Amino acid sequence: MSNITKLSIALTPKMARLVRRAVETGEYASSSEVIREALREWRLRRSLSPQDRRGLMRLWREGVEAGPSEPLDVDAIKREGRKRLAARGGKRRA
């Protein structure tokens, strides 16, 4: 990054701990990387149209209202998939 502008920011103690922890655990190489990622996410969220935001909020509400999720039985899902594949003669769809 040859074209860098340094800024000084103030964070709450809780936010600062989160940033430090992300670096300490190796999730990020530096606190600057954490902040840059947060800004990229913020910019993406701001770029969504009001219609996109409403759609996302509707889907979120539907998920919450659906109640708690249950653990998936991966083996049962695989068995069902294999059963359906066999019923079609073992041919995969494109």
pLDDT of residue 53: 84
The pTM assigned to this predicted structure is 0.51
pLDDT tens for each residue of 6-56 = 999 999 999 999 999 999 999 999 999 999 999 999 998 888 888 888 998
Closest CA to 23 of 14, 35, 13: 35
Q: How confident is the model at residue 4 (pLDDT cuts 50, 70, 90)?
A: confident
Closest CA to 36 of 79, 66, 12, 1: 1
pLDDT above 80: residue 1: no
The average pLDDT across 78-87 equals 94
pLDDT tens for each residue of 52-78 = 889 989 999 999 999 988 888 999 999
How many angstroms separate the CA atoms of 78 and 86, rounded?
12
What are the extents of the domains in the chain?
13-87
pLDDT above 80: residue 90: no
